[in-house]
Structure 1
């Protein structure tokens, strides 16, 4: 995400980097349309802040090595569509249209492949909330502010970690309003603007956005189709001395890969040796499909356990509407975060915490069924891709809620823009990275019901044909 809030002027070099291979959009249309699509997707994805000043037409034309006419036409198109406010004598500023822009009305299909999450197990969730409502009375006699979380939930989470192989006391749990809130609290406590944070590439785009909002500079270390390059991680940490690192070792978002025990031991050693404070995101830990994940990563820390802060959430395992997350860390670490928290928020809703505690008690009833649903939908997605997009290559993830797919040509942003015009929302590959790369990849969740998933892939195939100029049997009409 570009976050140059000083003067709200976007650096032309950073903008060019984020645009990536925007030219592929023009394979079946004018160049200015491809540029307008690329800029629009950056705004929609949140990688360009609303109200930011775009570079001058001349500066952007020079940086992109295109004619000024192309940039002028792209800016005009964005202005007509409501994504740009143009003012005489001043730079144009980014915007979100208040009405549907001409040429971008959704088609007959309105399917969302942007969110990778399941609907709730309705009966069990309703039961948990009913029980929580009956248990809330004692809390009504206090002010209702819980900066660390209610005891029933912290106890349930501690027992859960202990059962998984990481002995945990309730005092080592701090409850938050979702995992992203937990990440934000950690960033607010331990980073300053300009600090570096080591991240995997690709990675969870929400974490990247949280870093950008703090002015933290993410430093990417690329993953291979087989997983983590720990030699590269070691070298990057030692050379760059990041203030913080962020990893998703279980059912990684978006690849679905899990770091094996030997890799966990190696990464734990790197963290200890370099004294790098590290966020371990376990949000998708429960969603293993082929093989159960190892013990929590923090269990591999034989020394310097204070360096690891584990983040978890109820959203992926149970329901996205239950905004309950947590941080599992050493007591002194949590005390530091809790001391800062009142300047950010005043705790997490109590009824939701009690409902979460109840739901954790039903996990043996809920989670196996949800994994089975995901296995079936993943199998369907493989079949649909083989039928409609046989040249796409899913990476061999073993769990999670989505698959990371390699495209035959680097046209992810163009594909996302075309799909959006057809009524299908899907983020482009660069959204999951730092430097505008990943144009050869796209994330496909398999969380939608079968009929919606089928419809989504059919639209995606039409969008792909529209940007490549291919019919399915013809070669791709694109120069890269």
Structure 2
């Protein structure tokens, strides 16, 4: 296990990061590439932190001498690394004012969880975001919403706990899945990200230990960073045994877990594993924050498992759901299912975020939950075909890469066999491919051997993307210079 000191505030009121903090999140940066001078590898590591949204904009980096001492390298190594970053437009330096992070004009961060990194029609393949496009049937459902909208226009429109029809639809959804639920146990949020934020704010205090598995959903890590939580990460395994061991050692107030088609690995916990996790939470006095954003994305033949909250620990399981992964990321509606007392605390905490979710979005979400079965069936079939296309393309073009084929979800978690994730992501940009490095899904610069590849594009696009990625891998293996600017290898 690793200490959560990594998540000390990166951007304090002075908007600076210390040498110690930067060294922690850089991790084993000298191994980020097998080739290239040390200063270029350091620059690549810092570049990844900036583009993966792990260092905010406008943050002052430590001085050259201080960082060199912390990293046990020469000051010239740090100076040369900073110079490379300035040349690429990622650092701005002022005499006497140090060096601060920035982005070149028109550049976006592929690893950031907010929005796609590239625009449509640019001949780029965006594989940094695991989300699927919308469905035309959503527009048809919106037409039905307009029929009932006049009733709500006569009211003020604020519903802090959520609109009653949507809470009813979500409660019915849980009940059908085997977890009896009332509307009082449901709170509506503006997406799963806000639901996670509310749970962390309401149920934990800064510097209290929160246990997570690694790899995990980057957005959850962003939330924990913002709240200055003391994060304890444990290695993810098939049955979450390591997570249970970590809980007994730390006795955390809160544990974040993805039990259904885990992001990014696709793992699905069975009933016995869920029962063991709930028992451990009860023994440790911990709340389980269970992210169910992918629960509807099990493919044909996938096991059907009841919600984790239904197998025990009723008062200690907070379930988070969302419309974004199963329906459309543009529909920013999520929810929390929990004990009534917990819901009351979350609703109170929400007042510091916003007053309520938009009425039209909530009405649309309620309509889709109640009538969208055919749409979900189609999307599962589509995703299964795209998964199979991605698997075949990887076997054909990158046969040495290893992965397990998931029975649901949106992505493959691929073992590259060597620590090249960051340098490969950088090189792939020359082939017009956006990726999020494996390090984005964990702490302290680890997971350099891994890459998440979503199967969210149509099969022909996935095939072309993997062909380009194979060419990028060949460049890296041939010794692509880390000092070379990112150019256009693909035209």
Q: Same fold (TM over 0.5)?
A: yes
What is the rounded CA distance, in whole Å, between the counterparts of 1:97 and 1:184 in structure 2? 30
Residue number among 390, 398, 420 corresponding to 1:389 in the alignment: 398
**Deviation string for 1:30-77 (max 9, x for gaps)?**
433332222111111111122222122123233334332222121112
Aligned counterpart, 1:246: 256
What is the rounded CA distance, in whole Å, between the counterparts of 1:38 and 1:372 in structure 2? 39
What is the rounded CA distance, in whole Å, between the counterparts of 1:156 and 1:114 in structure 2? 32
Aligned counterpart, 2:316: 307
What are the ranges of 5 or more consecutive residues in structure 2 without an aligned counterpart?
Answer: 1-5, 109-117, 481-491
Aligned counterpart, 2:169: 156
Compared CA separation, residues 26 and 67, structure 1 to 2 (3 A):
farther
Matched, 1:133 2:146: yes
What is the rounded CA distance, in whole Å, between the counterparts of 1:299 and 1:146 in structure 2? 28
Matches within 5 A, 1:83-162: 83-99=90-106, 109-122=123-136, 124-162=137-175
Aligned counterpart, 1:458: 467
Indicate conservation of the 8 Å contact 1:374/1:446, yes or no. Answer: yes
Residue number among 283, 298, 306 corresponding to 1:295 in the alignment: 306
What is the rounded CA distance, in whole Å, between the counterparts of 2:196 and 2:353 in structure 1? 13
- Residue 24 of structure 1: how far off its partner (Å): 4.6
Indicate conservation of the 8 Å contact 2:290/2:320, yes or no. Answer: yes
Matched, 1:228 2:239: yes
Aligned counterpart, 1:332: 341
Indicate conservation of the 8 Å contact 1:22/1:414, yes or no. Answer: no
What is the rounded CA distance, in whole Å, between the counterparts of 1:27 and 1:17 in structure 2? 21
- Residue 157 of structure 1: how far off its partner (Å): 0.9
Aligned counterpart, 2:215: 202
Matches within 5 A, 1:333-412: 333-412=342-421
What is the rounded CA distance, in whole Å, between the counterparts of 1:362 and 1:446 in structure 2? 26
Matched, 1:5 2:19: no
Secondary structure (helix, strand or coil) at the match of 1:8 reads coil
What is the rounded CA distance, in whole Å, between the counterparts of 2:419 and 2:239 in structure 1? 22
What is the rounded CA distance, in whole Å, between the counterparts of 2:146 and 2:272 in structure 1? 45
Aligned counterpart, 2:232: 219
Residue number among 184, 193, 201 corresponding to 1:188 in the alignment: 201
Aligned counterpart, 1:477: none
Compared CA separation, residues 160 and 384, structure 1 to 2 (3 A):
same
Give the RMSD, CA atoms, in angstroms: 1.9
Matched, 1:416 2:422: no
Aligned counterpart, 2:190: 177
What is the rounded CA distance, in whole Å, between the counterparts of 1:376 and 1:19 in structure 2? 37
Structure 1 range deviating more: 249-258 or 331-340: 331-340
Secondary structure (helix, strand or coil) at the match of 2:294 reads coil
- Residue 207 of structure 1: how far off its partner (Å): 0.5
What is the rounded CA distance, in whole Å, between the counterparts of 1:300 and 1:26 in structure 2? 45
- Residue 137 of structure 1: how far off its partner (Å): 1.1
- Residue 26 of structure 1: how far off its partner (Å): 5.0
Compared CA separation, residues 160 and 100, structure 1 to 2 (3 A):
closer
Aligned counterpart, 2:3: none
Compared CA separation, residues 467 and 16, structure 1 to 2 (3 A):
farther
Structure 1 range deviating more: 398-407 or 80-89: 80-89
Indicate conservation of the 8 Å contact 1:26/1:33, yes or no. Answer: no
Indicate conservation of the 8 Å contact 2:212/2:243, yes or no. Answer: no
Compared CA separation, residues 357 and 422, structure 1 to 2 (3 A):
same
What is the rounded CA distance, in whole Å, between the counterparts of 1:177 and 1:449 in structure 2? 28
- Residue 464 of structure 1: how far off its partner (Å): 1.5
What is the rounded CA distance, in whole Å, between the counterparts of 1:270 and 1:30 in structure 2? 48
What is the rounded CA distance, in whole Å, between the counterparts of 1:405 and 1:189 in structure 2? 35
Indicate conservation of the 8 Å contact 1:315/1:322, yes or no. Answer: yes
How many residues of Structure 1 are paired with residues of Structure 2 in the alignment? Answer: 460
What is the rounded CA distance, in whole Å, between the counterparts of 1:24 and 1:421 in structure 2? 22
Structure 1 range deviating more: 436-445 or 85-94: 85-94
Structure 1 range deviating more: 251-260 or 189-198: 189-198
What is the rounded CA distance, in whole Å, between the counterparts of 1:154 and 1:100 in structure 2? 40
Aligned counterpart, 2:40: 33
- Residue 99 of structure 1: how far off its partner (Å): 4.4
- Residue 189 of structure 1: how far off its partner (Å): 1.4
Secondary structure (helix, strand or coil) at the match of 2:351 reads helix
- Residue 360 of structure 1: how far off its partner (Å): 1.1
- Residue 145 of structure 1: how far off its partner (Å): 0.9
Compared CA separation, residues 119 and 468, structure 1 to 2 (3 A):
same
Matched, 1:63 2:70: yes
Please report the TM-score for the alignment, with normalisation by the length of structure 2: 0.89
Matched, 1:266 2:276: yes
Structure 1 range deviating more: 164-173 or 448-457: 448-457
Indicate conservation of the 8 Å contact 2:193/2:220, yes or no. Answer: yes
Indicate conservation of the 8 Å contact 1:271/1:278, yes or no. Answer: yes
Aligned counterpart, 1:282: 292
Structure 1 range deviating more: 186-195 or 167-176: 186-195
What is the rounded CA distance, in whole Å, between the counterparts of 2:126 and 2:292 in structure 1? 24
What is the rounded CA distance, in whole Å, between the counterparts of 1:90 and 1:299 in structure 2? 56
